[in-house]
Chain A
Amino acid sequence: MQQFSFMRFRWLYFALSAVVIIPGLICLALFGLQLSIDFTGGSLLELRYQQNEPAVTVGRQQLQHLAGDTVNLTSLQASGTNQAIIRMSQISNEDKEGLIKKLAPHFKVVEELRFESVGPTLGRELFQKTLVAVLIVSIGIILYVGRQFHSVKYGICAILAMFHDSVVLVGMFAVFGKFFGAEVDVLFMTALLTTLSFSVHDTIVVFDRIRENTRKHPSADFQTVLDASVLETLGRSVNNSMTIIIMLLVLVLLGGDSIRWFGVALLVGAVTGTFSSTFTAAPLLLVWDDVARLLKARK
């Protein structure tokens, strides 16, 4: 029976990645990320209200007018039925109390669900801290992969796959941020770190198999070895991701608003992490080989 060749379609997989990555990058370049107050500093107030009869709707302009000069609104967003999130410049607890009092006459009940206020220094600090964390994790992974495979080729391809996953995740959130108001907060950064470890987790399983098969069949052509290894690990890869994706999908769909975007970020990370091991990292090895051969031939 003719074995299906995965690697023949490697450019298709790269194209598929590009289809996801390029719009993300465009969005990122045009609109940037929606950074949360965790990073920028500012205040966030989530309120639940009950409508008067007849119903009143308060737009952002009116709300700003109501709030007066002490508060500088940046956005007003519905967060469920009769719930709204107001984002503004940093205000004190007293200012917030004042704001709620000013709103009270317009609605039957105004209940404070959440109030967060972050000073600008802390935001900058957190940003630095997360960058450090990303750096540490990346360096740790690079060292580990390098030690594990004793090969620049495997190491760099694993890291390129990891980079691919980060770009996918960040790009997707630039898109989600623009169109659905998804914010990049400290939990997003957590999801990003988890994605890095996901990505390398899966890649290691695939690479382990490639290495094992290279040793077992030293005479076989590299592409054949890759095809066989990918085929052998694909069942495990897909099944394992299925269980993770099932859990995360259920969390995103049923698990309430407060951690929804966190779930989405983990989900995107899990999907791209699985995809990239088989369809980015392994084909990259082949591309690496091709390029190396070309360079040698030219000399």
Chain B
Amino acid sequence: MPREIPVNFSLAGQNVDYTIKRPILNLNFFGMTVRRDFELRQGLDIQGGMQVVLRADTSKVDESDKAAALESAKQVIQRRVDLFGVSEPVIQTSRVGKDDRIIVELAGVNDINQALQLIGTTAQLDFRLQDASPSADATQSAVAFMSQFKPTGLTGKDLKRSTVQYDPGTAEPQVAMEFNPEGTTKFAAITKAHTGEVLAIFLDNYPVSLPRIGDPIVDGRAVISGQFTLDQAKELNIQLNAGALPVPIQVIEQRNIGASLGKEAVEKSIFAGLIGLGCVITFMIAYYGWQGVLASISLVIYAVFTIAIYKLFNITLTLPGIAGLILSIGMAVDSNILIFERMKEELRTGQPFERAMELGFKRAWDSIKDANLMTIFTALVLINPLDLQFLNTSGLVRGFGITLLIGVLTSLFTGLVVTRTLMRLFLNEPVRSVSTVHRVIKAAKGTK
């Protein structure tokens, strides 16, 4: 996005030097945040990814426990997603009427199917004991093999967490498990009664590990060791952590966006925005002459400001957001036009230029304020900052609302402060002031 700057400069003609200084000043002012990286945070629709809305079936949970059940489901999903290595995943819970929902947004995820499987499965982790004396055909058929394991009642719900660590003695990777109090009791009972037997770990009825119980464990802390490679240990850790969801979930909405679609659209939109900006600047200069040049400089500063603000507040840019930005550039000129037209009128009534300018700004301000107030209000309804349940929470709509709001607020600032300062600067410069004033007056009069 900041590449916009040089393009504008060349269009602004002889004001190149002046324009370059401004954005640099701004960037220094905002300090490290802006300078550190210029990449704006991209929304799901731009970098591609997946959004799913899951309905958590909490009908079998007591009313008082519903919130907790939903929260813990969210945490399980959070853990699964973290393991998947997505940067900045968004996981939210929401209650709409009687529906409990979990919204998951994974930006930039490559394998959507795998991610969906990871999130969506109500994976059931449990521990099963292997029969002490396996039957002869257990090695022959899968069914017979599976049937030799008996559930123990110890499940993923009892597991607090697991981690990969290294055996202090042999430096081999191993997986440590920690149970919650309930799990600790169950685990202690099982390990006492079945020391030396195999306590298999099943994920979705499929054995993922067959550790043997070494000693009775009463403190709820167990270590699975074996001939693990680091990757194997990690994988087992993921499977343990993925755990079981406390409530069944169901996908009720899903949006996958391929990365290529968003990338093309962004390139096109930014290109369109630059062309549009060029057209608007040409139009303003052609119509308002010198004032148009000032307004254009103000517009360029506006664009730089806006992007600095996106960065500062870590705004996620979406495609509708870019549309909002493009729209707000068109609207940003409005306050300048209102002021210029007012100035022209004051000049026509015979006011001296400087006074006409101040009057123009003052009189136009009322209209500008009134007119923009409703746009700000609408933008706020779209953004829904209070997360009101009866209003939308769609990221696309919000993205548009946010850029529109920032655009309107920034345009008030640049239109009133920056353009005004630029015009005063022009006037107060002692050597050139006379000729400049005359030129501006001539330009202002000549156009009508």
A contact residues vs B (CB 8 Å cutoff) = 46, 48, 92-93, 97, 111-119, 121-122, 125-126, 128-130, 132-133, 136-137, 140-141, 144, 148, 186-187, 189-190, 193-194, 196-198, 200-202, 204-205, 208-209, 232-233, 235-236, 239-240, 242-251, 253-259, 262-263, 266
Secondary structure of the A contact surface, majority rule: helix
B323 and A114 contacting across the interface, CB-CB below 8 Å:
no
Query: Which residues of chain B are near A189, meaning CB under 8 Å?
Result: 397
Any chain A CB within 8 A of the CB of B382?
A: yes
B319 and A258 contacting across the interface, CB-CB below 8 Å:
yes
B341 and A193 contacting across the interface, CB-CB below 8 Å:
no
A247 and B330 contacting across the interface, CB-CB below 8 Å:
yes
B320 and A114 contacting across the interface, CB-CB below 8 Å:
no
Contact A126:B338 (CB < 8 A) given known A187-B397, A251-B269:
no
A247 and B251 contacting across the interface, CB-CB below 8 Å:
no
Q: How far is the CA of A263 from the CA of B67 in the complex (A)?
A: 41
A132 and B396 contacting across the interface, CB-CB below 8 Å:
no
Any chain A CB within 8 A of the CB of B75?
A: no
Which residue from B116, B264, B320, B378 sits with its C-beta under 8 Å from A256?
A: B264
B337 and A144 contacting across the interface, CB-CB below 8 Å:
no
Any chain A CB within 8 A of the CB of B206?
A: no
Query: Which residues of chain B are near A130, meaning CB under 8 Å?
Result: 392
A255 and B394 contacting across the interface, CB-CB below 8 Å:
no
A228 CB to nearest chain B CB (Å):
12
A255 CB to nearest chain B CB (Å):
4
Q: How far is the CA of A247 from the CA of B333 in the complex (A)?
A: 11
CB under 8 Å from chain A, chain B span 158-211: none
Query: Which residues of chain A are near B391, meaning CB under 8 Å?
Result: 129, 132-133, 136
Identify the stretch in B28-36, B145-153, B364-372 within 8 Å (CB) of chain A at 4 or more residues: B364-372
Using CB atoms, name the residue of chain B closest to A206.
B367
Q: How far is the CA of A193 from the CA of B338 in the complex (A)?
A: 24
B238 CB to nearest chain A CB (Å):
21
A-B contacts, 28 of them at CB < 8 A, read A92-B251, A93-B116, A113-B260, A113-B261, A114-B261, A117-B253, A121-B99, A129-B391, A148-B370, A194-B375, A200-B374, A201-B371, A201-B374, A204-B374, A205-B338, A235-B341, A235-B448, A236-B341, A243-B334, A247-B280, A247-B326, A247-B327, A248-B326, A251-B323, A255-B265, A258-B262, A258-B265, A266-B327
Query: Which residues of chain A are near B269, meaning CB under 8 Å?
Result: 251, 255-256, 259
Query: Which residues of chain B are near A248, meaning CB under 8 Å?
Result: 326-327, 330
Which residue from A115, A197, A255, A259 sits with its C-beta under 8 Å from B378?
A: A197
Candidate in B253, B320, B370, B373 with the most chain A CB atoms within 10 angstroms: B253
B98 CB to nearest chain A CB (Å):
11
Q: How far is the CA of A141 from the CA of B377 in the complex (A)?
A: 9
Q: How far is the CA of A127 from the CA of B244 in the complex (A)?
A: 35
Q: How far is the CA of A208 from the CA of B338 in the complex (A)?
A: 12
B390 and A129 contacting across the interface, CB-CB below 8 Å:
yes
B337 CB to nearest chain A CB (Å):
5
A247 and B371 contacting across the interface, CB-CB below 8 Å:
no
Query: Which residues of chain A are near B372, meaning CB under 8 Å?
Result: 201
Query: Which residues of chain B are near A256, meaning CB under 8 Å?
Result: 264-265, 268-269
Query: Which residues of chain A are near B280, meaning CB under 8 Å?
Result: 243, 246-247
B269 CB to nearest chain A CB (Å):
5
Q: Give the 5 A-B residue pairs with the shortest CB-CB distance, closest first.
A: A247-B330, A244-B330, A256-B268, A119-B252, A254-B272
Query: Which residues of chain B are near A255, meaning CB under 8 Å?
Result: 265, 268-269, 271-273, 323, 326
Candidate in A111, A121, A202 with the most chain B CB atoms within 10 angstroms: A121
B265 CB to nearest chain A CB (Å):
4
Query: Which residues of chain A are near B374, meaning CB under 8 Å?
Result: 140-141, 144, 197, 200-201, 204
A202 and B283 contacting across the interface, CB-CB below 8 Å:
no
A259 and B320 contacting across the interface, CB-CB below 8 Å:
yes
Query: Which residues of chain A are near B287, meaning CB under 8 Å?
Result: 239
Using CB atoms, name the residue of chain B closest to A246.
B279
Using CB atoms, name the residue of chain A closest to B341.
A236
Query: Which residues of chain A are near B268, meaning CB under 8 Å?
Result: 254-256
Query: Which residues of chain B are near A251, meaning CB under 8 Å?
Result: 269, 272-273, 276, 323, 326-327
Which residue from B256, B271, B276 sits with its C-beta under 8 Å from A247?
A: B276
Query: Which residues of chain B are near A116, meaning CB under 8 Å?
Result: 254-256
Q: How far is the CA of A47 from the CA of B326 in the complex (A)?
A: 28
Any chain A CB within 8 A of the CB of B223?
A: no
Which residue from B252, B256, B260 sits with its C-beta under 8 Å from A121?
A: B252
Q: How far is the CA of A198 from the CA of B372 in the complex (A)?
A: 9
B385 CB to nearest chain A CB (Å):
14
Contact A236:B338 (CB < 8 A) given known A133-B381, A140-B374, A259-B323:
yes
Any chain A CB within 8 A of the CB of B425?
A: no
Candidate in B322, B323, B382 with the most chain A CB atoms within 10 angstroms: B323
Query: Which residues of chain A are near B334, meaning CB under 8 Å?
Result: 240, 243-244
A257 and B273 contacting across the interface, CB-CB below 8 Å:
no
Query: Which residues of chain A are near B322, meaning CB under 8 Å?
Result: 259
Candidate in A48, A245, A251 with the most chain B CB atoms within 10 angstroms: A251
Q: How far is the CA of A240 from the CA of B367 in the complex (A)?
A: 13
A67 CB to nearest chain B CB (Å):
18
Which residue from B96, B279, B373, B378 sits with its C-beta under 8 Å from A137?
A: B378
